[in-house]
Amino acid sequence: PLVGVRINQHCAPNDETLDSLKQDPALFLIHKNGFAFQSTPECVPFLLKQGHASLQSISSYLSLAHIDERYIQEPLLDLCCGRGGKTAICAEQGLSPFASDFSIQRLSQLQTESSRLHLPYIPALLINASRPLPFSKSFNTILIDAPCSGLGVISRRPDSKYRITKKMISELVNTQKSILEHACSHVRKNGTIIYITCSISPEENHNQIASFLSRHSSFECVQEFLPDYTSPMNEFFYTAVLKNRA
């Protein structure tokens, strides 16, 4: 797989270093602050140590970077933040996200990572997103980097194709449905849900969103990015942006 590097907008390296990355012979792709290389440039370990950059799959970065910025507004909640890769993208862009996850270990990793990147403090809550959310407030944006089968990133996790069963996908689809149901009641008028998976399973992607929209007529899909099976990056993500018109 390609080596993905995300430059930290909040604490960027100097222009000379950026130019060297752009001219590196191993460079495969650039999009905004995301780079993909066929091998790791010599300066990357230094950039990581200084908090100027993070290692992140370019496909994972693009799943959020492709979204129209008007659909990512504060107050913003990253509901299934994991170790905080997409939370950090938002913070690096000057937003002040809230983060939550069901794993205290992942939340700890998020705080460690945000410290390395010299980001402002990110409030992090221990929450099971598949259950009713403990918020009295609503948000303009809720980001759901949904738990999924990972069938779109088999190039990085080749054992997945042997572990994932139809029953597991069915259970994941039910979990994703619960997360969407609980999230939607906390989205403000004209606010958005951003739903992302690293799966190629239609049940987890377009079909999941179509089912959600059939139950919630106040929401509409304003952007959708389907997995591009012709991509030479060999990683496949799905993104849907759902706007609440109510």
**Catalytic residue set:** 198
- Tokens 């960027």 belong to 12
Q: How far is CA 174 from CA 139, 146, 209, 238, in A?
A: 24, 11, 12, 17
- Measured CA to CA, the distance from residue 226 to residue 85 in angstroms comes to 21
CB atoms within 10 A of CB 167: 8
In terms of Cβ atoms closer than 10 Å to its own Cβ (0-12, 13-18, 19+), residue 25 is exposed
Of 35, 40, 46, nearest to 13 (Cα)? Answer: 46
3-class state of residue 218 by DSSP: coil
Structure tokens at 60: 């994972």
